[in-house]
Amino acid sequence: MIKIVTIGGGSSYTPELIEGILKRYHIMPVSELWLVDIEEGLEKLRIITDLANRMVKKANVDMKIFATTNRKEALKNADFITTQFRVGQNEARYLDESIPAKHGLIGQETNGAGGLMKALRTIPVILDIIKDAKEVAPNAWIINFTNPAGMVTEAVLEHGNWDRFIGVCNVPHGMQKMVADLLEEPMEDVRIDFAGLNHMVFGLDIYLRGVSVKDKVLNELMGKQSFSMKNITDIPWSVDFIKGSKVLPCFYHRYYFQKEEMLEHLLEDYKNNKTRAQVVMEVERSLFEKYKDVNLDVKPEELQLRGGAYYSDAACNLMVGLYNDDKTIQVVNTRNNGAISSLPDDVVVEVSSIITKEGPRPLSMGALPPIAQGIVSQIKAFEQQGILAAVSGKYEDALVAMVMNPLVASEHLGKIVLDEMLLANKRYLPQFKAAIEELENETNH
C-alpha cells in the first residue's frame, strides 16, 4: 500500500489532488494521505481535512487521512511527497505583483521581478524539506508543484543532492486540453511534443492519433477561441505571428512577446485593486466557505477559477506512471540529458518524457527553433543566477539576477525594485539578513 505526504496540505487545491487520487485508486491504492502545513495554516488544514474525510467516505475506499504540522513525523517512510506550498501565502504574492507594477514593470508570480522574489523565498524551504526527507524517507519520489517549478527543481538537483525530484506544471496539460477542444477530439487522442522551460515551454509538434496536425492547428484553428488560462489576460496572437513562429505558444509567452499590452493590463489591474493576488484572495475566501459545508463531499466547480486547475491530473498521472512503470509520455521538469540539444545536459528543462519506475526519460527534441532558442537560453541563465542568489543570500547575486531578467533589464530600476522587495519580504528571507539590515540602515540615515 502507498503512503503520500502533501506539504501545503491546507491549500485550496488539495481537494482536486484528493479527487485525483480517489479516481485512480484502482491502479494506485493509497492507504495513507498525510496533509502537512504550518501553524498559520492550521485553520485551513482543519477545513481541508474534514472535506477530505467526507470525500474518502463517499468514494468508499480504504484510505486514511492524517493532518499535522509535524513535517518530519509525516514524512516517515513516504512513497511519494508532493509539495504545493506558498511561502508568505497570498500576501507575499500581492507584493510580487504590486511592487514591480508601482515602478512600471510587469509584476507576476513566476515571471520578472516577482518570479525572482518567489524563488528567493521558496528555495531555502524546499532544501530544508529535502534534508528531512533524506533522514526519514530516503526512497520517496518528490513531485513538486510549488512555483517557480523549474527553478525549484534545478535548485534541488544542484544543491540538494536528491535525484528523485520531479517538477510538474498544469500548463502543458491545459494546452493539450485546449488543442483537443479546437480539434473537437478527445484529449487522449491528442499528443504534443513539448520542450523549453517551466512557463516558457513550446509545443513543437501536435499529433492526432499519431499523425501530425500542427499546420492545421496553427494555420486554421488558432484564434478560433480563447487560448489562455484563468490567471493570464487573453490577448489573441496574430495569425502571421503564429504561422511564422511554427510553434504552439504557451500562455506565459504573452509576457515576453506581447509585453506592452500585458503591462498595460497589469498596471490597470494594480490601479483598480484587482491584481491577480487580490482576485485569488477573494476566490479562496469563498472556496473555504464552501469547503466548510458539512454536506459537501466533492470538489466544488469554483476550484476551476484558480489558475492551477487540472494540476492534480498532472501530479497524479506522474505518480501512477512511476508506481506502475507505465511508460506513458508526460511533460515534466527534469534534467535535460541531451533532450534539447541547444541547452547543456545538466540544466532542468520542461520536456515530454517517458515515465518509468526509475524516473522520467526525456525524449530527444533536437535544437529549439529560432523563436524559442534565444529567450529560453536567456531565461535559463537568469534562473541559474537566481538559484545562486537564493542559496548564497548575497545582495550582489540577487541584483545581477534581477537585472538579467528580460522583464526588468535595467540596473537602475532593478536596484530600486530589489531593495523594496527585500525589505517587504524580510521575514521570509533569512539568508538575506545581513543585506536587509544594511538596507534598513541606509533608509534610516
Q: Residue 144: which CATH number? A: 3.40.50.720
pLDDT tens profile 195-213: 999 999 999 999 999 999 9
Residue 287 lies inside a defined structural domain of this protein: no
Residue 178 lies inside a defined structural domain of this protein: no
Kindly state the DSSP code that residue 281 receives in the 8-state scheme. H
Residue 309 lies inside a defined structural domain of this protein: no
- What percent of the chain is modeled with pLDDT above 70? 99
pLDDT tens profile 7-64: 999 999 999 999 999 999 999 999 999 999 999 999 999 999 999 999 999 999 999 9
Residue 57 lies inside a defined structural domain of this protein: yes
pLDDT tens profile 399-440: 999 999 999 999 999 999 999 999 999 999 999 999 999 999
Does the pLDDT at position 83 exceed 70? yes
Transcribe 371-384 into DSSP letters: HHHHHHHHHHHHHH
Residue 387 lies inside a defined structural domain of this protein: yes
**Range scoring the smallest mean pLDDT among 132-136, 302-306, 314-318:** 302-306
Determine contact, residues 331/149, Cβ cutoff 8 Å.
Answer: no
- Averaged pLDDT for residues 359-363: 98
Q: Is 252 a catalytic residue?
A: yes
Choose the final residue of a domain: 100, 134, 167.
167
pLDDT band at 308 (very low <50, low <70, confident <90, very high): low
How many domains are contained in the chain?
Answer: 2
Does the pLDDT at position 307 exceed 90? no
What's residue 309's pLDDT?
Answer: 63
Displacement of CA 383 from its chain's centroid (Å): 14
- Averaged pLDDT for residues 275-291: 94
| C-alpha Rg value of the chain to the nearest Å | 21
| Beta strand segments in 120-248, E | 141-144, 165-167, 190-197, 200-208, 211-212
Choose the final residue of a domain: 132, 167, 202.
167
Residue 302 lies inside a defined structural domain of this protein: no
- Averaged pLDDT for residues 248-253: 94
Choose the final residue of a domain: 131, 146, 167.
167
Residue 320 lies inside a defined structural domain of this protein: no
Residues 6+ apart with CB under 8 A from 23: 316
- Averaged pLDDT for residues 254-273: 96
What's residue 221's pLDDT?
Answer: 81
Residue 200 lies inside a defined structural domain of this protein: no
What's residue 312's pLDDT?
Answer: 84
pLDDT band at 86 (very low <50, low <70, confident <90, very high): very high
What's residue 358's pLDDT?
Answer: 98
Does the pLDDT at position 259 exceed 70? yes
**Range scoring the smallest mean pLDDT among 95-99, 382-386, 439-443:** 439-443
Find the domain containing 87 and state its range.
2-167
pLDDT tens profile 206-233: 999 999 999 999 988 887 767 777 778 8
CA-to-CA dists, residue 412 to 399, 409, 419, 435, angstroms: 10, 9, 11, 18
Q: Which among 124, 143, 153 has a CA at the least distance from the CA of 349?
A: 153
Identified catalytic residue from 13, 252, 311, 323:
252
